[in-house]
Amino acid sequence: MFGRLTIDSLPFYSAVAASGAAVTVLGGLAVAGAITYFGAWRMVMTQWVSSVDHKKIGIMYIMLALVMLLRGFVDAAMMRSQQAVAYNSDGYLPPDHFDQIFSSHGTIMIFFMAMPFLSGLANLIVPQQIGSRDVAFPFMNSVSLWLTTAGAGLMLISLVVGKFSTAGWTGYPPYSGVEYTPGVGVDYWLWMVFVAGFGTTMTGINFLVTIIKNRAPGMTMFRLPLFTWTMLITSVLIIFAFPALTVACAMLILDRNFGFHFFTNAMGGNMMNYINLFWLWGHPEVYILILPAFGVFSEVVSTFSQKRLFGYISLVLATCAIGLLSFTVWLHHFFTMGSSAKVNSFFGTMTTIISVPTGVKVFDWLLTMYRGRIIFKPPMLFTIGFLVTFVIGGLSGVLLALPPIDYMMHNTTFLVAHFHNMIIPGVLFGYLAGYMYWFPKAFGFKLNEKWGTRAFWCWIIGFYVAFMPLYVLGMLGMPRRMEHYDIAAWQPHLIVAWVGAFIIMLGMICLGVQLVVSIRERNQALDLTGDPWNGRSLEWATSSPAAPYNFAVVPKVESRDAWWDMKQRGVAYERPAEYEDIVMPKNTYAGVVIGVAGGVFGFAAIWWMWWLALLALVVIAGTIIYRASDDDDEFIMTASEVKAIEDERFAQLAKAPKNEMADEPGFAGNAAPEPAE
């Protein structure tokens, strides 16, 4: 009945594990309690959980990402604390637990922080940037969200029931095989990746179709805003890269649970197959994460330099080139695993070549700032911090791309320093910049700038203090994933790194305070115009938050920087003579049912409760068939309803005639919205 789930699976074997579980359970209860306290269940269920509105789905994705950022950061802080004290001592974490923590940290940060953040920003913004009313498949969008959430849910459950994997975020066999790691940990990892991976693949398909098919008239490919361009390429990468991950995970599941021999050491298995498949996905994945951040930087840099983007075409071409090249370098993740010198030099060269288009981008951003009138709002600070720091990370990456150097450095903390050096300024700063930049679009008020600036300084200083010592440690020969050590020279650096993590913690706190303060003082920071930054692309043409249909009248695009152009031509805030009916998708619970059933399926498969797994599959199939037979999934928003919403918008506009940026020193003074009569 309960498969291999027994009472021993509860985390009472160690105080640290038990308190982690307690925090998780209490956190869940606190959220449920808060919703009950505010009497908000009905609202949550009918307006959020069942929603197919891409803007709401985007907000839920980002909430998920922020929660998981916190969880991932707690893991990181625990590791830093352990390594700071573990010189000639056991520290406070037993080895098995330390291993679970680095595995869950990496897994969370990549799959459940960065990926949802990316999907969230895309959902929030892409349809509006291309002048569309919706994504191509709103229902599938909801399924994607809930499958991703189901994966994250499994992640959190692993803290309470059973143990998590100790095989790192990459899960290399044969260590992750059943012979060396028999428990449920690796199965948790596999199934959560598998379930969330389906959601991601659907997101990729959804956005590729949306961007290709749903653009407003006149929005040619070479007029697409850069963020949309990067999401387009990211979607292509998702569609072509994620299958490799699915296959690798499926095979490892078969090996572990059904005695197959793909990656075992005996019976003709070959673990190198796993490593090839994994990185065939894994390398494109890092570009899946970073390209959208590049898109955010491009938008932010031109808005806050008050200039058009320098080298638009070269940025687009560089994005495409990076997308292509990202499939040709995966082997640099295992230079040391016995390929021939010829193979290694090919992949080393290809890796180095990727730095060319990336360098082009850096110069384009710099030249956009050159002679711009820069306004230093938090998103812009994150962008500048990124530019400086990212170049350092890129240089260390070019070093690692040389196989001889990689032979010295692989699996040392030098590598850990390198990829955090790319992924924190490159990915996380980008997403945080996007979060602060587009927050007013989502909620109708701006985030507090003082706390945003503080968060930035803590993050960037903390980053340097936490990760520069790891470069040194790597050169001193410290392997990654060490639980304790007996080399005195390492400890000072590890203590500095611990201080860095502490400063980053202050950054996390600032982010939290910023959110709370901003919500509390929202009336002082209302964005009535819908265009708080004097923006350039079409998402700023809608009200904040945008109406369910985004655009009452689909805009006609006549140039790049479409919204800027409309403001220049004085047609930005024109009121249409009349409105028309708009067809909208109906809310549905089918998405969340599929998501929950997907999570139950994963849980059942981890614990070998096959009857439950079967039941969950039947529910999923039934829901899909039910949906597929439902020809009545839309409703009509009548012209008069549309008119009512739009009238309100114009009334708001009249109250805020002046562009909010006009008070900024250096404001170029342009195209303030005309008050409606």
**Separation between Cα atoms, residue 647 and residue 650, nearest integer Å:** 5
Helix intervals (H) in 174-270:
185-213, 226-258
The reply to whether 389 belongs to the active site is: no
The tokens of 579 are what? 């409105």
The reply to whether 312 belongs to the active site is: no
Residue among 54, 215, 256, 283 flagged as catalytic: 283
Nearest distance from C-beta of residue 466 to ligand HEM, angstroms:
5
The reply to whether 383 belongs to the active site is: no
SS3 assignment, position 256: helix
Number of residues that bind other proteins (CB under 8 A): 43
Selection from ligand HEM, Cu ion, other proteins, none that 429 binds (CB < 5 to 8 A by kind) is none
**Separation between Cα atoms, residue 368 and residue 300, nearest integer Å:** 11
Told to check if 629 binds other proteins by CB under 8 A, we report yes
Nearer to ligand HEM, 424 or 546 (CB): 424
Nearest distance from C-beta of residue 270 to other proteins, angstroms:
6
Task: Check: CB of residue 103 under 8 Å from CB of residue 165.
Answer: yes
The reply to whether 283 belongs to the active site is: yes
- List C-alpha distances in Å: 644 to 54, 555, 647: 22, 19, 5
Nearer to ligand HEM, 277 or 424 (CB): 424
Told to check if 625 binds other proteins by CB under 8 A, we report yes
The tokens of 383 are what? 């962008």
The reply to whether 240 belongs to the active site is: no
Choosing from 86, 216, 251, 427, the residue that interacts with other proteins (CB under 8 A) is 251
The tokens of 290 are what? 């970073």
Told to check if 1 binds other proteins by CB under 8 A, we report no
The reply to whether 670 belongs to the active site is: no
One-letter amino acid at 397 equals G
Tell me which residue of 215, 218, 217, 212 sits closest to 236, measured CA to CA. Answer: 212
Choosing from 217, 259, 404, 576, the residue that interacts with other proteins (CB under 8 A) is 259
Nearest distance from C-beta of residue 249 to ligand HEM, angstroms:
16
Nearer to other proteins, 261 or 481 (CB): 261
Stretch that binds other proteins, among 53-61, 144-152, 254-262, 450-458 (CB under 8 A): 254-262
Nearest residue (beta carbon) to ligand HEM? 106
**Separation between Cα atoms, residue 573 and residue 653, nearest integer Å:** 9
Choosing from 67, 239, 499, 676, the residue that interacts with other proteins (CB under 8 A) is 239
Peptide bond into 545 cis (omega under 30): yes
Selection from Cu ion, ligand HEM, other proteins, none that 76 binds (CB < 5 to 8 A by kind) is ligand HEM
Selection from ligand HEM, other proteins, Cu ion, none that 283 binds (CB < 5 to 8 A by kind) is Cu ion
Q: What are phi and psi of 398, to 5 degrees?
A: -65, -35
Tell me which residue of 189, 225, 241, 230 sits closest to 208, measured CA to CA. Answer: 230
Tokens 């008119």: give the residue: 643
Stretch that binds other proteins, among 120-128, 244-252, 339-347, 660-668 (CB under 8 A): 244-252
Tell me which residue of 269, 233, 276 sits closest to 254, measured CA to CA. Answer: 269
The tokens of 89 are what? 């001592």
Q: Looking at residue 540, what DSSP letter applies?
A: G
Nearer to ligand HEM, 312 or 498 (CB): 498
Helix intervals (H) in 485-609:
490-520, 562-569, 590-606
The reply to whether 210 belongs to the active site is: yes
Rg (CA), the chain: 25
Selection from other proteins, Cu ion, ligand HEM, none that 291 binds (CB < 5 to 8 A by kind) is none
Selection from other proteins, Cu ion, ligand HEM, none that 413 binds (CB < 5 to 8 A by kind) is ligand HEM
Nearer to ligand HEM, 113 or 245 (CB): 113
The number of beta carbons lying within 10 Å of the beta carbon of residue 550 is 23
The tokens of 74 are what? 């707690």
Tell me which residue of 446, 438, 430, 454 sits closest to 382, measured CA to CA. Answer: 430
Choosing from 31, 43, 44, 250, the residue that interacts with other proteins (CB under 8 A) is 250
The reply to whether 285 belongs to the active site is: yes
Nearest distance from C-beta of residue 268 to other proteins, angstroms:
3
Residue among 104, 132, 148, 659 flagged as catalytic: 148
Nearest residue (beta carbon) to Cu ion? 283
**Residue 582, strand partner residues:** 637
Stretch that binds other proteins, among 110-118, 185-193, 258-266, 524-532 (CB under 8 A): 258-266
Told to check if 26 binds other proteins by CB under 8 A, we report no
Nearest distance from C-beta of residue 626 to other proteins, angstroms:
10
Cα 658 vs. chain centroid, distance in angstroms?
Answer: 34
The reply to whether 420 belongs to the active site is: yes
Task: Check: CB of residue 150 under 8 Å from CB of residue 198.
Answer: no
Told to check if 340 binds other proteins by CB under 8 A, we report no
Task: Check: CB of residue 282 under 8 Å from CB of residue 169.
Answer: no
- In the complex, the residues that contact ligand HEM under the rule CB under 6 A are 73, 76, 79-80, 102-103, 105-106, 109-110, 113-114, 168-169, 413, 416, 420, 423-424, 427-428, 466, 480-481, 501, 504
Residue among 61, 87, 112, 601 flagged as catalytic: 61
Q: What are phi and psi of 585, to 5 degrees?
A: -75, 145
**Separation between Cα atoms, residue 296 and residue 304, nearest integer Å:** 12
Tokens 């990402």: give the residue: 65
Cα 540 vs. chain centroid, distance in angstroms?
Answer: 23
Choosing from 81, 273, 355, 559, the residue that interacts with other proteins (CB under 8 A) is 273
Told to check if 454 binds Cu ion by CB under 5 A, we report no
The reply to whether 36 belongs to the active site is: no
The reply to whether 79 belongs to the active site is: yes
Choosing from 55, 283, 377, 454, the residue that interacts with Cu ion (CB under 5 A) is 283
Nearest distance from C-beta of residue 105 to ligand HEM, angstroms:
5
User: Taken in order 553, 557, 560, 566, is the CA torsion positive or negative?
Assistant: negative
Nearer to Cu ion, 285 or 527 (CB): 285
Nearer to Cu ion, 97 or 283 (CB): 283
The reply to whether 305 belongs to the active site is: no
Nearest distance from C-beta of residue 282 to Cu ion, angstroms:
7
The C-alpha angle 234, 238, 243, rounded to 5 degrees, equals: 165
Q: What are phi and psi of 479, to 5 degrees?
A: -70, 155
Between helices 115-129 and 226-258, what is the axis angle to 10°? 140
The reply to whether 81 belongs to the active site is: no
The reply to whether 54 belongs to the active site is: no
Residue among 60, 78, 79, 192 flagged as catalytic: 79
In terms of Cβ atoms closer than 10 Å to its own Cβ (0-12, 13-18, 19+), residue 488 is exposed
Nearest distance from C-beta of residue 319 to other proteins, angstroms:
19
DSSP 113-177: IIHHHHHHHHHHHHHHHTT-SS-S-HHHHHHHHHHHHHHHHHHHHHHHSS---SSTTTT-TTTTS
Q: Annotated catalytic sites, by residue?
A: 61, 71, 75, 79, 102, 123, 134, 141, 144, 148, 200, 203, 210, 283, 285, 287, 298, 314, 358, 361, 418-420
Site residues, other proteins (CB under 8 A): 136-137, 201, 204-206, 208-209, 212-214, 239-240, 242-244, 246-248, 250-251, 254-255, 258-262, 264, 266-270, 273, 277, 280, 583, 621, 625, 628-629, 631
| Interface ranges with Cu ion (CB under 5 A) | 283
